[in-house]
Structure 1
Amino acid sequence: MLYIKNKLTFDKKNVESLAKKYGTPLYCYSFNKLKSNILELKKYFRSFSPLICFAVKSNTNTKILNEIKKFNLGADVVSLGELMKALKAGINEKKIVFSGVGKTSTELNYAIKKNILLINAESKSEILEIEKIAKKKKKIVDIGIRLNPNTDAQTLSQISTGKKENKFGVGEKVFLQLVEYIKRSQNLNLKCLSVHIGSQILNHKPYQNMLKVVDRTIRKSKYKFEYIDLGGGMGIDYEHDNSKLNLKKYSQDIKKFLKIHKSKIIFEPGRSIIGNSAILLTKIVYIKEGDKKDFVILDVAMNDLMRPALYGAKHKIIPLKKSNQKSKKMYEFVGPICESTDTFSTIKKYQKLKEKDFLAICDVGAYGVSLASNYNVRPKPLEILIKNSKVQILKKRQKISELI
């Protein structure tokens, strides 16, 4: 994003002209940013060439998945729908891992039928269910076990997944018991130790701690894992204050780990690939005066972007036209939904705004549309992609008639 003569541009396109042409709310993606994010990840980890499986939950648009697939990425899926979308987007089934604590027998049957790379099991009950299906099909199924390393990711509690109080994976004791059980099974082939400690991580030290636990568990198991799936969770700079995960240090830690354990690494990044590749355009409907602050009421709401309402996430909000005039009062940016949590940000000393002005909410590519709903019977927004200076429609705006 860049201001040229005080007007916001995104991938060299005038953003206000996009808002006027396509209407708001509008999700707008940059192919160039998507590409540079993927290439940066590959650059930092090229010494051990991991299998990068995009976390489909972060963005489920099939056309986006197809663009990602062109960079030889796989997919990390957590539901039957996500698995079907990944396959529809052309992602190689041997680059798909299936995670999640509650896979149903229907989902497991489909995954086994499609011969995906791995089903990462998260409980003994799930392993028994996979074994039952495998026996019935007279197949040997490749699986992983997800270890809960009891590691604090130092992130929001709502997106922490690697502590013992979280529902994910199994503790070390159960993990070792399951390794022994699978070794005796005639229908299961244990290929992977899987781990994932949380999301929006900006400090490499939780990853260091995670690798120590994984190292210890492998040594205790005395088992040679073909794959170590280190999950994702790599954060992005939502605050625009240059907060960044040190990928170089993380890469060095993994290289040390691989000197001892000769396994293939799998990553499951979502946010770090797609998060900062999109903006959400919105129009001011009303400015409602209050005693201590003015409410800037937008045409975008929590149904379009759930993260702020769901766990207080912060997204920068910027004007499409820059001005030196400052508002005398604080602004609270809110949506029209009948919930007090339908609020995006409260900002002091913002530039003076007026009704019908356009704004951009930044870094919405991950968990934006994928968490969107039709709450208040509101249609989901239009999605566009800027690629090679052309605008492609990724998904049409829903019509109210479709919802009625």
Structure 2
Amino acid sequence: MSEKNLPLGHGEMLELAYELATPFYLYDEKAIVEGARQFKRLFSWAPGFKNYYAVKACPNPVILKLLGQEGFGADCSSLPELLLSKASGIVGEQIMFTSNDTPAEEFKAAYEMGAIINLDDITHIDTLEEAISAVPSTICFRYNPGPERTGNAIIGNPVEAKYGVTSSQIIDCYKIMKEKGVKHFGLHTMVASNELDGSYIVETARMLFELCVRIQKEAGVRIEFIDMGGGIGIPYRPEQEGMDLAEVSRRMKDLYDQIIVPASLDPLKIVFECGRMITGPHGYLVSKVLHVSHKYKDYVGLDASMANLMRPALYGAYHHITVLGKDASKSDHRYDVTGSLCENNDKFAIDRALPEIQKGDFLVIHDAGAHGHSMGFNYNAKLRSAEYLLKRDGSVVMIRRAQTYDDYVSTLRFDGALVEV
């Protein structure tokens, strides 16, 4: 069972909800830092261990800088993410540029910033060379195992995935780059997303360790680091258990000693690109109840919508909900919890058992610290919400102001300001 606790007591959370304009996001600095440090401790045996935080999970420079101070790098997939990381003090090979269908100018920017470039396809070798007119000293390839592995329910069948170099291409990739003068090599994959079964991660390590040996034998290339990608999930539902990372780490070390050490590939650096597990459990969306209506079902209408958190509508994802101030009340009512978009799937929960709710109550949506605010949008001209950080000293600071109408229309051209192209 996973506890769904609030970062503050119900009373303090209510005070905050009355003080700040809802909806808003709140992140727990202390919990984020403690989780980051625990991850590093569990894998302290691994040579050169590092987590490149997936910027897409929560692209806020305050969060990125906080993790950078803990020794984390940044996993970037676009030019704006590269620039955000640089602005947050994460530079050079502290950045892993893992992208797909990548514009040439983004390859160029990553190279000029000194980031490690992780190529998604064998044809991208030529694209990269044309973009930078040079050869990077370090290169990495994303591997797609195809029918040799099964992805989990979210990532899908690797054969159907657009990502990565195939098993038949992978050796040629390293041979080509070795001939071009690349000196340092990495190997990356990602075959799971939001996975709670640690065996997926362990078997991914086995696959990459064995592939390192194959690449050494067939291409004459020594892989210096493996990038396990992300994919470590969080228990969104209270009845779920989180992944046993201590057991995963132990089993990965056993495989390392069985496969890598005898092949004389030790030390082999091990890195991850986890985002969700680092900030996901420590972000909260706070929203006010605008309406409680009784139709064919009972509905709780919030001032937040799927424009603020789209995972439930997009994936049918579960997010736990707490009604502030009603922690002692029984969950003896059943509601659909909805937003105000002109879309019937704009729902945070369907048939959810909750305490009786009245207009003016405040709801907290849990586990929104990754792929929450970052996946927001402006449909129905809904404006993006503010983000706040609960500091370790108990203070609350704004780390992103709420979007205004002027922000929303700032890129538009009205009749009097049309620009000829």
Q: TM-score, normalised by structure 1?
A: 0.92
Q: 1:220 to 1:38 in 2, by over 3 A?
A: same
Q: Does 1:86 align with 2:81?
A: no
Matched position secondary structure for 1:173: helix
Mapped contact 1:28–1:279 kept (Cα < 8 A): yes
Q: 1:386 to 1:12 in 2, by over 3 A?
A: farther
Corresponding position of 1:198: 192
Q: Does 1:280 align with 2:288?
A: no
Corresponding position of 1:129: 127
Corresponding position of 1:147: 143
1:95-174 correspondence to structure 2 within 5 Å: 95-116=94-115, 118-134=116-132, 136=133, 138-150=134-146, 151-156=149-154, 160=155, 163-174=158-169
Corresponding position of 1:382: 386
Corresponding position of 2:407: 402
Corresponding position of 1:373: 377
Question: 2:250 is matched with which residue: 249, 252, 266?
Answer: 252
> In 1, Cα distance between the equivalents of 2:9 and 2:195?
27
Corresponding position of 1:234: 232
The sequence identity of aligned pairs, in percent, is: 28
Corresponding position of 1:303: 307
Task: Kindly state the Cα deviation for residue 332 of structure 1 after the two structures are TM-superposed.
Answer: 0.4
Mapped contact 1:162–1:198 kept (Cα < 8 A): no
> In 2, Cα distance between the equivalents of 1:327 and 1:381?
28
1:322-401 correspondence to structure 2 within 5 Å: 322=326, 329-387=333-391, 388-401=393-406
Q: 1:79 to 1:13 in 2, by over 3 A?
A: farther
Question: 1:181 is matched with which residue: 161, 164, 176?
Answer: 176
> In 2, Cα distance between the equivalents of 1:328 and 1:203?
32
Give CA deviations for 1:171-195 in whole Å, capped at 9, x if unaligned.
2111112122222113x34510111
Question: 2:31 is matched with which residue: 33, 36, 41?
Answer: 33
Mapped contact 2:77–2:97 kept (Cα < 8 A): yes
Q: 1:11 to 1:365 in 2, by over 3 A?
A: farther
Give CA deviations for 1:23-63 in whole Å, capped at 9, x if unaligned.
10010111111111101111211111511111101010111
> In 2, Cα distance between the equivalents of 1:61 and 1:32?
16
Give the count of matched residue pairs. Answer: 392
Mapped contact 1:161–1:167 kept (Cα < 8 A): no
Corresponding position of 2:415: none
> In 1, Cα distance between the equivalents of 2:388 and 2:376?
16
Task: Kindly state the Cα deviation for residue 282 of structure 1 after the two structures are TM-superposed.
Answer: 0.4
> In 2, Cα distance between the equivalents of 1:173 and 1:359?
51
Mapped contact 2:384–2:402 kept (Cα < 8 A): yes
Q: 1:329 to 1:32 in 2, by over 3 A?
A: closer
Task: Kindly state the Cα deviation for residue 390 of structure 1 after the two structures are TM-superposed.
Answer: 0.9
Aligned-partner residue type, residue 38 of structure 1 = A
Corresponding position of 1:10: 8
Task: Kindly state the Cα deviation for residue 348 of structure 1 after the two structures are TM-superposed.
Answer: 4.7
Mapped contact 2:4–2:320 kept (Cα < 8 A): no
Matched position secondary structure for 2:354: coil
Question: 1:22 is matched with which residue: 7, 12, 20?
Answer: 20
Matched position secondary structure for 1:285: strand
Q: 1:176 to 1:161 in 2, by over 3 A?
A: farther
Aligned-partner residue type, residue 352 of structure 1 = E
Aligned-partner residue type, residue 8 of structure 2 = F
Q: TM-score, normalised by structure 2?
A: 0.88
Mapped contact 1:53–1:73 kept (Cα < 8 A): yes
Mapped contact 2:192–2:200 kept (Cα < 8 A): no
Give CA deviations for 1:248-289 in whole Å, capped at 9, x if unaligned.
221123213333142111111100100011111001111110
RMSD over aligned Cα, in angstroms? Answer: 2.1
> In 2, Cα distance between the equivalents of 1:88 and 1:11?
34
Mapped contact 2:152–2:193 kept (Cα < 8 A): no
Aligned-partner residue type, residue 241 of structure 1 = E
Aligned-partner residue type, residue 180 of structure 1 = K
> In 2, Cα distance between the equivalents of 1:182 and 1:161?
30
